[in-house]
């Protein structure tokens, strides 16, 4: 968390906010561990200053800002991080939002990195657990690095034929396979549970044992659930917020994730929770038989 829908929502918002053409005027930081490349903050600061934002896009769970002078900024929000766009001012040693009440949400108060832009706005990273990472790359090197990730499931090129090729001889439980970023990009714990419920497939079923019809249902569920997540601008039952500080709306569409003990909306059986690879997994024992 955030997963593909949340990251795409962030990118969509930043593009609508007309960041393209703005330059990085300066950067503030209070947690050195966020900057992974280059490791030296002063070098990072020097390299990013005055760089113009040329493009903002998503690859898997990464937000990429293509900049002038063949540089690209990569931000991975990890578990509790999210980007915010607005204005803040320092008051009694703390950053206070200016002109936007939504930024006062408690989940928006963990600011550890702020980019000052030359359009008089700021781009801030709020991250409760400080797991997010920020990297500055040469653009072509980053693109080669990102090619190691799996295909984008919402791209037109992600066809049923391609999905079948990906799953062919792919060993492991299907939930683990869906969450493997080198297999398919962008799916995490929340949407994997939702996708498998939609397709009526048990999360522990071996990928190699999926029948032809199940693969087709799974493919359709991947497309539909992720598209719905983007349409409703992500899931905000926990830390994630949109760049304007407000919540996403996917919570109303969530069928199984964090609904343990509640009725399945399809068959009225009780939703169960198990652990797969250390992650909580939610499913209907009747609709999703092993």
Around 81, how many Cα atoms within 13 Å sit in the side-chain half-sphere?
Answer: 21
Q: Is 268 a catalytic residue?
A: no
Q: Is 147 a catalytic residue?
A: no
CA-to-CA distance for 183 and 174, rounded, in angstroms?
11
Q: Is 61 a catalytic residue?
A: yes
**Given 61, 71, 200, 254, the catalytic residue:** 61
Burial of 165 (0-12, 13-18, 19+ CB in 10 A): exposed
Q: Is 2 a catalytic residue?
A: yes
**Given 36, 164, 173, 279, the catalytic residue:** 279
Which residues is 285 bridged to in the sheet? Answer: none
Q: What angle do CA 225, 203, 188 make, to 5 degrees?
A: 50
How many CB atoms are located within 10 Å of the residue 280 CB? 14
Instruction: Fill in the DSSP letter of residue 54.
Output: E
Classify 149 as helix, strand or coil. coil
Residues with catalytic function: 2-3, 61, 279
């Amino acid at each position: 968390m955030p997963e593909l829908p949340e990251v795409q929502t962030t990118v969509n918002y930043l593009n609508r906010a007309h960041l393209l053409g703005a330059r990085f005027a300066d950067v503030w930081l209070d947690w050195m561990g966020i900057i992974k490349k280059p490791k030296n903050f002063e070098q990072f600061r020097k390299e990013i200053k005055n760089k113009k934002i040329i493009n903002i896009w998503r690859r898997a769970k990464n937000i990429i800002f293509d900049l002038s002078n063949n540089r690209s900024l990569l931000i991975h929000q990890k578990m509790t991080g999210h980007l915010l766009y607005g204005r803040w001012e320092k008051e009694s040693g703390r950053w206070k939002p200016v002109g936007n009440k939504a930024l006062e949400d408690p989940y928006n108060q963990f600011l550890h990195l702020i980019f000052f832009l030359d359009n008089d706005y700021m781009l801030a990273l709020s991250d409760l657990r400080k797991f997010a990472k920020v990297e500055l790359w040469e653009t072509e090197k980053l693109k080669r690095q990102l090619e190691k990730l799996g295909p984008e499931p919402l791209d037109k090129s992600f066809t049923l034929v391609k999905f079948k090729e990906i799953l062919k001889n792919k060993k492991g439980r299907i939930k683990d396979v869906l969450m493997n970023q080198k297999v398919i990009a962008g799916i995490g714990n929340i949407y994997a549970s939702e996708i498998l419920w939609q397709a009526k497939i048990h999360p522990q079923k071996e990928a190699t044992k999926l029948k032809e019809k199940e693969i087709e249902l799974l493919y359709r569920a991947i497309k539909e659930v992720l598209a719905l997540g983007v349409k409703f601008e992500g899931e905000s039952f926990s830390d994630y917020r949109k760049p304007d500080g407000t919540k996403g709306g996917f919570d109303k569409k969530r069928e199984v994730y964090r609904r343990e003990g509640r009725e399945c909306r399809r068959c009225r059986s009780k939703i169960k929770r198990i652990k797969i690879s250390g992650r909580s997994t939610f499913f209907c024992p009747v609709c999703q038989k092993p």
